[in-house]
Amino acid sequence: MFRYAAFVLLLAFGCVIHLSCGTEVTVQDKDDKLCLYANLSVNFSVSYVTSGNKSELAEFELPAEVVSNGSKCDAASSTLQLNFGAGHSWSMNFSVSGNTYQADSITFSYNLSDATVFPKSASTDTLSVTVRPHITDIGMDTCYSCKSKETIQSDSVNQTLWNVLIQAFVSNGTHSENLTTCAADLPATPTASPTTAAPVTNTTAATLAPTTSPAPTLPTPATGKFSVKPDNNGTACLLANFALRIGVKQGEKHQEMNLDPNVTRASGSCGVNSSELVLASTDMTVVLTFTNGTKKFRLQSVNVTAKLTSGVIFSEANSSLSLWEAAVGSSYMCNKEQNYTITSQLNIFTFNLQVQPFAVKKGLFSTAEECFLDSDLSFLVPIAVGVALSFLIVLVLLSYLIGRRKSRTGYQSV
């Protein structure tokens, strides 16, 4: 009774002045004190196959009535888990980073045997997708507020969040009166009109201004060993060893950043058709999504969120890739440096790469399929190019000599 009375009182203060008619949940710690508060709306759009082998789209929303079993709080990490309907669940994991906290991942599990939501579904499996939301740098003892809509896409599921109000790591059992507002809700910065006045020193403007000075050369990034284990125990179901650098372009400015494996936490999920590796460090989060095509796997999606030296939050993704392809049951390896253009604003560079997102046995890599750069045949490329150029030079020389001989013959016949 006291909890509901306290909630009514809080309607006049801080977090709760952010109006929302979505799903509201409170989580208590072991001392029965409030440790996590959430009020948000989520819409789901799920593509599935019917018994007639047709693709259908199920659209539904997170209901107001949910069960928060599985939610938990501690000093370094918290989990909000919402169970609803006939075997569906939605969870968000949070972690502390210095004086801020962030949402590391969202996991949505849906039960295809629920005929109310998925009529005539050909499958009765419960599938899961894990994605990375753009919820970072939330000040401790503040609520994260975002009224704007954010749509997070994955292979067969789209999730749209809006009217989000969340405070993880609540201290003293009460809501904070302070908000960390998402960038989408902030008013647009007006563009300065031309002026003849003397330039004013501005740290932000100076940082973002184009520069012609060359960027410092970064050392080769350290190689990290990452894995995903179901429920954080047992044998790994996804293995990945590599060193990673990202290249970011914003306007005329280009910046490169190395992923430091020493401060990077690996998480993710493993499925029959899709597996995901989430790498979260202090200044960037990288989400790699792999798909299983029965006979071969490939890297289909790359999603990168990074905090640049200017303080700007950069985010780019591409979910229509076809990289690192190898037979299911084997691993993909490429020790040489590789440079991939993910979008026009994002490049990734890999070194000492070996990945296996499916069919991992005894927590060890299976036999590797090497990339072309590592194979013994790679040396044939410059040889083939050299031979082709030599043949072309000989052909041009012969054509020249034949033409010269014909011209001489014509002159002598006059």
User: What average pLDDT values come out for the chain (414 residues) when binned by 10 residues?
Assistant: 35 41 88 92 91 88 93 91 95 92 92 94 91 88 91 82 92 85 75 42 34 58 92 83 94 91 92 92 93 91 90 88 93 93 93 96 93 63 71 83 67 47
Query: Does some domain include residue 211?
Result: no
Q: Are residues 145 and 3 in the same domain?
A: yes
Query: Does some domain include residue 414?
Result: no
Separation of alpha carbons 81 and 258, rounded Å: 33
Give me the sign of the Cα torsion angle 116, 40, 270, 301: positive
Q: Are residues 176 and 227 in the same domain?
A: no
Q: Are residues 228 and 180 in the same domain?
A: no
- Structural domain span for residue 148: 1-184
Query: Does some domain include residue 400?
Result: no
Q: Are residues 166 and 238 in the same domain?
A: no
Tell me what pLDDT residue 166 has.
94
Query: Does some domain include residue 201?
Result: no
Separation of alpha carbons 54 and 293, rounded Å: 19
Total tally of structural domains belonging to the chain: 2
Q: Are residues 179 and 229 in the same domain?
A: no
Q: Are residues 44 and 97 in the same domain?
A: yes
Residues in the chain: 414
What is the separation of C-alpha 45 from the centre of its chain, rounded to a whole number of angstroms? 19
| Span between the terminal Cα atoms of the chain, in Å | 120
CATH of the domain at 372: 2.40.160.110
Separation of alpha carbons 297 and 299, rounded Å: 7
Separation of alpha carbons 24 and 401, rounded Å: 87
Tell me what pLDDT residue 335 has.
92
Separation of alpha carbons 222 and 314, rounded Å: 23
Q: Angle at Cα 267 formed by Cα 326 and Cα 37, nearest 5°? A: 145
Q: For residues 359 and 328, is the Cβ–Cβ distance under 8 A?
A: yes
The pTM of the full predicted model, rounded to 2 decimals, is: 0.48
